[in-house]
């Protein structure tokens, strides 16, 4: 587009969603600069909203401050600064049919901006010259001071909210006054004529010319073909489109790294050189972490994560991690930022790998899940060649951002062709910590997956090594972060290493029977596997195989189907989960497994048995004793109890 001063600029018009306050947080990240692309002083966000929007999450007496994105305008946050946003309120004084005094307690729709001392300009929309002056002033202020500026433009809707209703039903006095108003074009023309700026005839000619141009443009648009269907194209030019992902066979790519790369990262994961002084307890942790890598063994979750992110940085990728407590890690596992015990200076080991590496950014956020997740979602849309990860303090807290998950992450590509590679990292697991610290509500994410389970179809490094981008929802166990049973070796990360959607039972033919002697097959996902395996070993069960489904969507149809025929004498196939029957992946997995059964002569008509907790409206119990009793019952039921044959073999018609 070209300005009146004959300068070109690029305008990116984002999709319009009815709840504009949620949309705002996804677009503000467009002008956030981490030295990857762009410049926050050149790129700017312009947010247009009506007068009801700022109050929807900003009414002081309705919601806690930390839950309001407008009370977290990102302007001053270290990892979310935007260089300022110009907010233009089209203030028609009514929210559909709701008067202003029913929407907010403050006098003005813009009062929420007072919380960050942003300048606010109120202007009569009928005063055209003042509107132009203040909009220019707001833009100049943002450019000069890199801070937010608000323009509250007081106006009205002549024909009501949607141009089709009868506004006098609900605002009779207001619309009686509006009927008497002279149209703005007419009154402004008369003003200019009185001032001798333009003759009435000239103004009429200008109006006619503009109408002719718009009419011609409308007619031309009927035959015009869009050059691009997506609103963001430049940064996505090397990525497969949604159509190509569906139509082409895209082979799985190796996520392995070279041994010397792991060594180079390990050299930086230890204790920093003097004079930097780390906490004495942390010193032992860092030394143990580094030695585990150098000894090619005992690599825990956090160390493996650091190796994955470090290898991406060495390949030139930008890595961004945000969320509450992500620098340390909620469970004191990450230690991505080290603090000097003498002066408080910070040191990021993964930012000191190479002079040519990609930027590693990790920053603690405020506890506003939907605000921060929305910001990071918008950031991931702009930078597909960056690993952008938002991590919840506990997976349960992700439901505070349900609107971002439902309206953007899961559906924006379908609605607006807006692609994203955002990673949601969600701690998950029933460890007796109660209903707010156990479940990331896996069932809700699976419900958003667009795959019909009735018909058989004819993770971090993997997220960037693919030729396309899709959001990734990663559930990880809290209790297994340091557990010895889940330690890896360096060999697991080199050679032909790649993600495994299905992990077959590794003990077949060793500590348990050969496949032909297996009577019960259990499929599960997550940390429940280790509870099952331990229970099986301590109780001497040798006729039960336990297979892990590591990827639930897209569902690993072929790998699961290939895993079943080897069990020639099986009489019981079970889906086991920690969650209750009305939660977790059960309903998602059941349909898919029984579809697979019907493709195999040996299992045709078979039912998949459920093993888990009973239905409950609360995710988990808050009593430790009850939690342990439930887990013992679950393990005993799935591994030791006999099952009636008519419950196993035949599905009800």
For residue 42, pLDDT over 70 is answered with no
Residue 446 and residue 588: Cα distance in Å, rounded?
7
Three-state SS for 493? Answer: helix
What is the end-to-end Cα distance of the chain in Å, rounded? Answer: 63
Q: How confident is the model at residue 17 (pLDDT cuts 50, 70, 90)?
A: low
Residue 311 and residue 300: Cα distance in Å, rounded?
17
List the CATH number of the domain containing 474.
Answer: 3.40.50.12470
Give the Cα-Cα-Cα angle 70, 72, 75 (nearest 5 degrees). Answer: 105
Average pLDDT along the chain:
85
- Mean local confidence (pLDDT), 204-230: 88
For residue 650, pLDDT over 50 is answered with no
For residue 296, pLDDT over 50 is answered with yes
Q: How confident is the model at residue 107 (pLDDT cuts 50, 70, 90)?
A: confident
Looking at the structure, tell me whether residues 387 and 528 fall in a common domain: no
| pLDDT of 18 | 56
Contact predicate 86/139, CB 8 Å: yes
Share of the chain above pLDDT 90, in %: 56
For residue 69, pLDDT over 50 is answered with no
242 lies in some domain: no
Omega before 598 within 30 of 0, i.e. cis: no
**pLDDT higher for 41 or 75?**
75
What does pTM read for this prediction?
Answer: 0.87
Number of compact structural domains in the chain: 3
Residue 27 and residue 47: Cα distance in Å, rounded?
8
Weakest mean pLDDT among 77-81, 287-291, 377-381, 467-471:
77-81
Contact predicate 322/365, CB 8 Å: yes
| pLDDT of 581 | 95
Three-state SS for 109? Answer: coil
pLDDT per residue as tens digits for the range 538-576? 999 999 999 999 999 999 999 999 999 999 999 999 999
Three-state SS for 249? Answer: coil
632 lies in some domain: yes
Looking at the structure, tell me whether residues 39 and 164 fall in a common domain: yes
Residue whose entry in the numeric block shows the structure tokens 């919380």:
115
- Mean local confidence (pLDDT), 480-498: 87
Q: How confident is the model at residue 57 (pLDDT cuts 50, 70, 90)?
A: very low
171 lies in some domain: yes
Residue 52 and residue 101: Cα distance in Å, rounded?
10
| pLDDT of 442 | 94
Handedness of CA 336, 340, 344, 347 (dihedral sign): negative
Select from 153, 181, 209 the last residue of a domain: 181
Select from 129, 159, 181 the last residue of a domain: 181
Looking at the structure, tell me whether residues 505 and 441 fall in a common domain: no
| pLDDT of 649 | 37
For residue 38, pLDDT over 80 is answered with no
Looking at the structure, tell me whether residues 443 and 522 fall in a common domain: no
Weakest mean pLDDT among 49-63, 262-276, 495-509, 541-555:
49-63
Looking at the structure, tell me whether residues 471 and 540 fall in a common domain: no
* Chain centre to alpha carbon of residue 291: 34
Looking at the structure, tell me whether residues 454 and 522 fall in a common domain: no
Contact predicate 525/341, CB 8 Å: no
- Mean local confidence (pLDDT), 218-245: 78
- Mean local confidence (pLDDT), 351-358: 95
CB neighbour burial string for 178-197, b if at least 16 within 10 angstroms, e if fewer: beeeeeeeeebbeebeeeee
**pLDDT higher for 322 or 61?**
322
Three-state SS for 473? Answer: strand
39 lies in some domain: yes
Q: How confident is the model at residue 192 (pLDDT cuts 50, 70, 90)?
A: very high
List the CATH number of the domain containing 620.
Answer: 3.40.50.11610
pLDDT per residue as tens digits for the range 364-412? 998 888 889 988 998 998 889 999 999 999 989 999 999 899 999 999 8
For residue 584, pLDDT over 80 is answered with yes
Looking at the structure, tell me whether residues 507 and 643 fall in a common domain: yes
Looking at the structure, tell me whether residues 420 and 555 fall in a common domain: no
Contact predicate 76/116, CB 8 Å: yes
Looking at the structure, tell me whether residues 37 and 142 fall in a common domain: yes
**pLDDT higher for 626 or 46?**
626
For residue 288, pLDDT over 50 is answered with yes
**Element housing 595 (H / E):** helix 586-597
Half-sphere exposure of 221 (CA within 13 A, CB side): 6
pLDDT per residue as tens digits for the range 424-471? 999 999 999 999 999 999 999 999 988 777 777 756 666 667 788 899
Looking at the structure, tell me whether residues 388 and 525 fall in a common domain: no
Integer angstrom CA distances of residue 600 from 143, 504, 596, 604: 66, 19, 7, 6
| pLDDT of 238 | 81
- Mean local confidence (pLDDT), 141-154: 91
Residue 82 and residue 298: Cα distance in Å, rounded?
41
| pLDDT of 135 | 93
Residue 160 phi, psi dihedral angles, 5° rounding = 90, -175
Residue 208 and residue 200: Cα distance in Å, rounded?
12
Residue 548 and residue 105: Cα distance in Å, rounded?
54
- Mean local confidence (pLDDT), 505-533: 95
CB neighbour class for 419 (10 Å; exposed up to 12, middle 13-18, buried from 19) = buried
pLDDT per residue as tens digits for the range 609-649? 999 999 999 999 989 999 999 999 999 989 876 443 334 33
Give the Cα-Cα-Cα angle 465, 468, 472 (nearest 5 degrees). Answer: 80
Integer angstrom CA distances of residue 213 from 189, 216, 218, 643: 20, 5, 9, 77
Q: Where are the alpha helices (DSSP H) in 58-183?
A: 128-145, 172-179
Q: Domain residues for 347?
A: 304-483
Residue 305 phi, psi dihedral angles, 5° rounding = -60, -45
List the CATH number of the domain containing 47.
Answer: 3.40.50.970
476 lies in some domain: yes
| pLDDT of 225 | 80
Q: Where are the alpha helices (DSSP H) in 301-417?
A: 301-314, 369-382, 402-404, 412-416
**Element housing 267 (H / E):** helix 259-268
**pLDDT higher for 356 or 75?**
356
For residue 55, pLDDT over 70 is answered with no
Contact predicate 348/278, CB 8 Å: no
Residue 378 and residue 31: Cα distance in Å, rounded?
10
Residue whose entry in the numeric block shows the structure tokens 């994560």:
305
| pLDDT of 382 | 87
Looking at the structure, tell me whether residues 563 and 592 fall in a common domain: yes
Select from 181, 207, 222 the last residue of a domain: 181
Looking at the structure, tell me whether residues 477 and 505 fall in a common domain: no
Q: Which residues contact 306 (CB under 8 A, 6 or more apart)?
A: 265, 269, 289, 334, 336, 349, 350
289 lies in some domain: no
**pLDDT higher for 23 or 531?**
531
| pLDDT of 441 | 94
Residue 109 and residue 55: Cα distance in Å, rounded?
7
For residue 65, pLDDT over 50 is answered with no
Weakest mean pLDDT among 159-163, 164-168, 255-259, 579-583:
159-163
Q: Where are the alpha helices (DSSP H) in 466-581?
A: 528-538, 557-563
| pLDDT of 458 | 58
Residue 99 phi, psi dihedral angles, 5° rounding = -70, 160
| pLDDT of 214 | 95
Starting at the edge strand found earlier in the chain, the sheet holding 120-124 runs 45-50, 85-91, 149-154, 120-124
């Amino acid at each position: 587009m070209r300005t009146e001063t004959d300068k070109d600029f690029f305008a990116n018009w984002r999709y319009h969603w009815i709840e504009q306050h949620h949309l705002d947080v996804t677009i503000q990240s467009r002008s956030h600069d981490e030295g990857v692309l762009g410049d926050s002083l050149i790129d700017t966000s312009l947010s247009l909203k009506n007068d009801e929007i700022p109050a929807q999450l900003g009414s002081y007496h309705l919601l806690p401050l930390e839950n309001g994105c407008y009370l977290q305008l990102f302007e001053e946050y270290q990892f979310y600064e935007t260089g300022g946003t110009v907010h233009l309120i089209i203030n028609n004084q009514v929210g559909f049919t709701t008067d202003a005094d029913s929407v907010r307690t403050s006098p003005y729709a813009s009062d929420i901006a007072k919380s960050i001392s942003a300048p606010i300009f109120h202007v009569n929309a009928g005063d055209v010259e003042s509107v132009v002056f203040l909009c220019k002033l707001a833009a100049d202020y943002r450019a000069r001071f890199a801070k937010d500026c608000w323009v509250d433009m007081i106006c009205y809707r002549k024909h009501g909210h949607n141009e089709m209703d009868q506004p006098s039903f609900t605002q009779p006095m207001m619309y009686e006054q509006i009927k008497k108003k002279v149209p703005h074009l007419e009154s402004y023309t008369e003003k200019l004529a009185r001032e001798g700026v333009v003759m009435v005839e000239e103004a009429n000619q200008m109006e006619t010319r503009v109408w002719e141009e718009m009419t011609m443009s409308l007619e031309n648009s009927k035959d015009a073909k869009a050059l691009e269907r997506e609103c963001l194209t430049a940064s996505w030019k090397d990525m497969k489109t949604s159509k190509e992902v569906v139509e082409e066979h895209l082979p799985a790519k190796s996520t392995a790294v070279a041994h010397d790369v792991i060594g180079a990262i390990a050299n930086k994961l230890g204790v920093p050189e003097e004079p930097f002084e780390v906490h004495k307890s942390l010193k032992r942790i860092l030394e143990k972490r580094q030695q585990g890598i150098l000894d090619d063994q005992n690599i825990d979750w956090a160390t493996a994560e650091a190796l994955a992110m470090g290898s991406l940085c060495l390949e030139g990728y930008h890595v961004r991690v945000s969320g509450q407590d992500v620098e340390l890690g909620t469970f004191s596992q990450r230690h991505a930022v080290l603090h000097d015990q003498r002066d408080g200076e910070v040191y990021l080991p993964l930012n000191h790998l190479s002079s040519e590496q990609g930027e590693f950014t990790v920053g603690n956020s405020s506890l506003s899940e939907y605000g921060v997740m929305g910001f990071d979602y918008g950031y991931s849309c702009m930078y597909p060649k960056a690993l952008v990860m938002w991590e919840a303090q506990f997976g349960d807290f992700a439901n505070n951002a349900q609107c971002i998950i439902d309206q953007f992450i899961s559906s924006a590509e379908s609605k607006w062709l807006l692609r994203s590679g955002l990673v949601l990292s969600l701690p998950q697991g029933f460890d007796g910590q109660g209903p707010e610290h156990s479940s990331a509500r896996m069932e809700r994410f699976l419900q958003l997956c667009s795959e019909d389970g009735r018909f058989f179809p004819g993770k971090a490094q993997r997220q960037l090594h693919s030729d396309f981008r899709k959001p990734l929802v990663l559930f990880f166990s809290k209790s297994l972060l340091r557990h010895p049973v889940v330690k890896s070796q360096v060999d697991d990360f080199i050679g032909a290493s790649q993600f495994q959607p299905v992990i077959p039972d590794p003990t077949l033919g060793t500590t348990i029977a050969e496949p032909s002697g297996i009577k019960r097959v259990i499929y599960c996902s997550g940390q429940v596997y280790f509870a099952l395996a331990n229970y099986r070993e301590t109780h001497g069960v040798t006729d039960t195989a336990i297979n892990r489904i590591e990827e639930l969507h897209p569902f690993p149809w072929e790998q699961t189907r290939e895993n079943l025929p080897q069990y020639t004498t099986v009489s019981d196939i079970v889906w086991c989960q920690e969650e209750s029957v009305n939660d977790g992946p059960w309903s998602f997995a059941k349909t898919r497994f029984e579809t697979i059964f019907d493709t195999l002569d040996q299992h045709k008509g078979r039912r998949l048995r459920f093993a888990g907790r009973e239905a409950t409206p609360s995710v988990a119990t808050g009593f430790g004793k009850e939690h342990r009793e439930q887990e013992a019952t679950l393990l005993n039921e799935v591994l030791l109890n006999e099952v009636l044959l008519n419950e196993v073999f035949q599905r009800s018609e």
